[in-house]
Structure 1
Amino acid sequence: MIVVTEQAAYQIQEMIKEAGEGEQYVRLAVNGGGCSGLSYGLGFEKDANEQDEILEFHGVKFLIDKQDAPILQGVKIDYKQSMLGGGFTIDNPNAIATCGCGSSFRTAANAGTPEQC
């Protein structure tokens, strides 16, 4: 379904350790809104629910709502480090358009959503 690089998983594990709250899941979600119609949500959660698929990559457990799964099919999450800092990247092969700032996207399923930029 999705791919999480070893570098991204390592960075997430470090963030979980720094938070000091014990084992946590990482929720990958699709939210409405943004210039292109959809945006990603990425955050920590303690518990899964019955609508969640649980996937594990390099020791990190991800939660994906079954409703979001088709839009996230084939997504690759990576972590890039540069001299100016680092950050997570999400590459979605289903995206047919992205916002100029890269924070939102559009798929064929939400192609009729008007842009707000």
Structure 2
Amino acid sequence: MSDTVLTQTEAPSHRVGVTDAAAEKVRSLLIQEGREDLRLRVAVQPGGCSGLIYQLYFDERQLDGDAVVDYNGVEVIVDEMSVPYLDGATIDFEDTIQKQGFTIDNPNAGGSCACGDSFH
């Protein structure tokens, strides 16, 4: 990962980091959507061949127990149940010939499947 992780602009309520490349891509997608009320939600759900899968999507809701951190204008929400699974994880965005998309480097993952979409 070549990008630096952005510093949080408020007291942390979760420890999910966002690289500047990922934050820039989120900003670009929000501009395309034409909505300023959306945040990036990161969650862990049961599923996949390794037991747990990541979900990243835009959400206008903020639910009880959600942890929200603003990274220089990009709000990242993590639900209360997902916080322990994502503690210390970093979201990045790659745009190369071989791969384009968001990636999550998670120190809590004991292993992952060959497709890279699920972990345990």
Give the TM-score category using the shorter length: 0.7 to 0.9
Quick one: which amino acid aligns to residue 47 of structure 1? R
Runs of 4+ aligned structure 1 residues displaced above 3 Å come to none
Q: Distance in 1 between matches of 2:26 and 2:51?
A: 27
Q: What residue in structure 1 maps to residue 78 of structure 2?
A: 64
Q: Distance in 1 between matches of 2:85 and 2:98?
A: 31
Secondary structure of residue in 1 paired with 2:111: strand
Alpha-carbon deviations, 1:20-61, whole Å to 9, x = none? 122311110001000000000100111201120111113100
Count residues with an aligned counterpart. Answer: 106
Q: What residue in structure 1 maps to residue 27 of structure 2?
A: 13
Q: Percent identity?
A: 38
Q: What residue in structure 1 maps to residue 59 of structure 2?
A: 45
Quick one: which amino acid aligns to residue 18 of structure 1? Q
Deviation at 1:2, TM superposition (A): 1.2
Q: Distance in 2 between matches of 1:100 and 1:85?
A: 15
Quick one: which amino acid aligns to residue 96 of structure 1? G
* 1:1-117 correspondence runs (5 A): 1-83=15-97, 86-106=100-120
Moved more, 31-40 or 76-85: 76-85
Unaligned runs of 5+ in 1: 107-117
Question: CA 1:84–1:76 in structure 2 vs 1: closer, same or farther (change >3 Å)?
Answer: same
Structure having the higher strand fraction is 1
Deviation at 1:84, TM superposition (A): 5.1
Q: Distance in 1 between matches of 2:62 and 2:39?
A: 8
Unaligned runs of 5+ in 2: 1-14
- Alpha-carbon RMSD across the aligned residues, in angstroms, is 1.1
Per the normalisation by structure 2, the TM-score is 0.84
Secondary structure of residue in 1 paired with 2:78: strand
Per the normalisation by structure 1, the TM-score is 0.86
